[in-house]
Amino acid sequence: MKPRVLLVHPPIYDFAAYDFWLRPYGLLRVAGRIAPFTELTLFDYLDRRAPDHACGPFDRWDRGAYASRRIPTPPALADVPRHWRRLGRHRESFVRLLADRGPFDFALVQTGMTYWYPGVQEAIEDIRTYSPGALVALGGVYATICPGHAGRLGSDLVVPGSDLRPLWGLLGIAEPPSATPWWQGYERLDAGVMKLTDGCPFACTYCATAARREPFATRSVGDCTAELDALVQRGVSNIAFYDDALLFSPERVLVPFLQHVIERRLAVNFHTPNALHGRFVTPEAARLLVQAGFKTFYLGLESSDPDWQRTTGGKVACDDFVAAVENLRIAGAEPGSTIAYLLLGHPRTSPDRLEASMRFVHALGVRIMLADFSPIPGTPDGELCRRWTDLDEPLNHNKTAFPLRLLGATAVNRLKDLCRTLNRRLPG
Neighbours of 70 (CB within 10 A): 9
Instruction: Identify whether residues 165 and 261 lie together within a single domain.
Output: no
Does some domain include residue 186?
A: no
Instruction: Identify whether residues 110 and 239 lie together within a single domain.
Output: no
pLDDT surpasses 90 at 261: yes
Calpha distance 84→16 (Å, rounded): 8
Point out the domain boundary residue: 112, 138, 171: 171
Instruction: Identify whether residues 165 and 225 lie together within a single domain.
Output: no
Instruction: Identify whether residues 161 and 203 lie together within a single domain.
Output: no
Instruction: Identify whether residues 197 and 164 lie together within a single domain.
Output: no
Domains contained in the chain, number = 2
Give the confidence band of 276 by pLDDT, cuts at 50, 70, 90: very high
Calpha distance 235→184 (Å, rounded): 12
pLDDT in tens, 378-423: 999 999 999 999 999 999 999 999 999 999 999 999 999 999 999 9
Q: What pLDDT score was predicted for residue 56?
A: 84
pLDDT in tens, 277-292: 999 999 999 999 999 9
Give the confidence band of 428 by pLDDT, cuts at 50, 70, 90: low
Point out the domain boundary residue: 112, 141, 171: 171
Calpha distance 345→389 (Å, rounded): 13
Look at residue 339 and give its three-state secondary structure.
strand
pLDDT in tens, 175-213: 999 999 999 999 999 999 999 999 999 999 999 887 777
Instruction: Identify whether residues 156 and 197 lie together within a single domain.
Output: no
C-beta of residue 415 within 8 angstroms of C-beta of residue 373: no
Domain that holds residue 377: 192-424
45: nearest Cα among 75, 6, 77, 101 = 6
Instruction: Identify whether residues 153 and 217 lie together within a single domain.
Output: no
Instruction: Identify whether residues 206 and 148 lie together within a single domain.
Output: no
C-beta of residue 193 within 8 angstroms of C-beta of residue 239: yes
Give the confidence band of 427 by pLDDT, cuts at 50, 70, 90: confident
Does some domain include residue 150?
A: yes
**Among the residues of 335-377, which ranges form H helices?**
351-363
Instruction: Identify whether residues 155 and 239 lie together within a single domain.
Output: no
pLDDT surpasses 90 at 297: yes
Does some domain include residue 184?
A: no
What is the pTM for the complete model shown?
0.96
Does some domain include residue 181?
A: no
With a CB cutoff of 8 Å and minimum separation 6, the contacts of 296 are: 61, 271, 272, 273, 337, 339
Which has the higher per-residue pLDDT, 298 or 56? 298
Per-position DSSP letters for 127-166, written without gaps between them: HHHHSTT-EEEEEEHHHHH-HHHHHTTS-SEEE-TT--HH
Q: What is the CATH number of the domain that holds 229?
A: 3.20.20.70
Instruction: Identify whether residues 147 and 211 lie together within a single domain.
Output: no
Count Cα neighbours of 372 within 13 Å in the Cβ-side half-sphere. 18
Instruction: Identify whether residues 244 and 386 lie together within a single domain.
Output: yes
Instruction: Identify whether residues 202 and 147 lie together within a single domain.
Output: no
Does some domain include residue 9?
A: yes
Does some domain include residue 77?
A: yes
Give the confidence band of 152 by pLDDT, cuts at 50, 70, 90: very high
Q: What is the CATH number of the domain that holds 72?
A: 3.40.50
Does some domain include residue 248?
A: yes
Helix (H) / strand (E) element for 409: namely helix 409-424
pLDDT in tens, 92-126: 999 999 999 999 999 999 999 999 999 999 999 99
Does some domain include residue 179?
A: no
Asked whether the bond before 103 is cis by omega within 30 degrees of 0, the reply is: yes
